């Protein structure tokens, strides 16, 4: 290969590699820049989602956690991103969700799960269906898999709706907002547990 051809190939390939590298760098990150201070902030996101702990009634506290199960190919995804070849299906993923409930009262209560709704339309049954919760006892459901249509960051949230009964009182379409966890928050949480 002549020096001229090699130089031409080098000139052509360097911008392509920079383009692919730039697209892959921001896949699981959010980058912001403050012009006043000149400070650049990068937030790296984990594949985990959590709702805040919610007091449903005097008896129960409830939290929902989720995990993004979609596998991303680190080689082909940046290429497709750079070429603009990602479609609506690339924004969808399956979330593995678990509902955690704790009885905070001094009396036992009967809890019956009915369903969880993802994205406002996909309804899934929850198991175990019923359980008796003694005072200060917590229970978690089996994994529930549902489709979600967007990746959430600090500005976007994923909302799930729960249907259940507590001591024969019906709670319908209780919304729980799942926030995407950052890598730093996940590391801190794992240190504490």
Report pLDDT digits (tens) over 16-37: 554 554 444 434 667 778 888 8
pTM: 0.69
Inter-CA distances, 25 with 31, 43, 106, 188, Å: 10, 12, 51, 24
Whether the per-residue pLDDT at 176 is higher than 70: the answer is: yes
Q: What is the dihedral of CA 147, 76, 71, 44, to 10 degrees?
A: -90
List all residues 6 or more positions away from 87 whose beta carbon is below 8 Å from its beta carbon: none
Q: What is the dihedral of CA 14, 17, 21, 22, to 10 degrees?
A: 60
Q: How far apart are CA 92 and CA 108, in angstroms?
A: 40
What token pair was written down for 137? 């006892």
For range 38-62, the mean pLDDT = 84
List all residues 6 or more positions away from 71 whose beta carbon is below 8 Å from its beta carbon: none
User: How many helices (H) and strands (E) are present in the chain, helices listed first?
Assistant: 3, 12
E-strand ranges in the chain read 29-34, 39-50, 54-55, 60-68, 93-103, 109-118, 122-125, 130-133, 138-140, 144-148, 158-166, 169-182
Q: How far apart are CA 190 and CA 185, in angstroms?
A: 9
Task: Please answer whether residues 96 and 69 qualify as being in contact, where contact means their C-beta atoms are separated by less than 8 angstroms.
Answer: yes
pLDDT recorded at residue 126: 82
pLDDT digits (tens, 9 = 90+) for 77-131: 667 777 777 776 777 788 888 898 899 988 998 989 888 888 766 788 887 678 8
Whether the per-residue pLDDT at 173 is higher than 60: the answer is: yes
Task: Please answer whether residues 54 and 102 qualify as being in contact, where contact means their C-beta atoms are separated by less than 8 angstroms.
Answer: no
Sign of torsion over alpha carbons 177, 46, 117, 61: negative
**Terminus-to-terminus CA distance in the chain, angstroms?**
60
pLDDT recorded at residue 24: 41
Rg (CA), the chain: 23
pLDDT category of residue 55 using cuts at 50, 70 and 90 = confident
For range 176-182, the mean pLDDT = 85
- Domains of the chain listed by start with CATH number: 46-192 (2.60.40.1470)
pLDDT recorded at residue 159: 84
Q: How far apart are CA 27 and CA 157, in angstroms?
A: 17
């Amino acid at each position: 290969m002549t020096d001229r051809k090699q130089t031409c190939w080098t000139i052509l390939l360097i911008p392509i590699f920079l383009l692919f590298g730039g697209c892959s760098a921001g896949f699981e990150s959010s980058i912001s820049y403050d012009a006043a201070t000149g400070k650049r902030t990068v937030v790296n996101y984990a594949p985990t989602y959590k709702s805040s702990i919610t007091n449903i009634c005097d008896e129960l506290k409830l939290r929902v956690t989720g995990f993004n199960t979609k596998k991303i190919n680190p080689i082909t995804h940046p290429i497709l991103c750079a070429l603009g070849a990602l479609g609506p299906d690339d924004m969808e993923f399956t979330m593995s969700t678990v509902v955690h409930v704790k009885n905070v009262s001094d009396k036992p209560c009967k809890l019956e799960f009915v369903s969880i709704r993802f994205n406002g339309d996909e309804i899934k049954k929850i198991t175990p269906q019923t359980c008796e919760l003694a005072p200060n006892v917590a229970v978690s459901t089996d994994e529930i898999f549902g489709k979600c249509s967007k990746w959430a960051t600090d500005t976007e949230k994923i909302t799930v709706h729960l249907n259940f009964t507590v001591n024969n009182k019906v709670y319908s379409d209780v919304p729980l907002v799942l926030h995407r966890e950052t890598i730093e928050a996940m590391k801190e949480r794992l240190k504490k547990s």
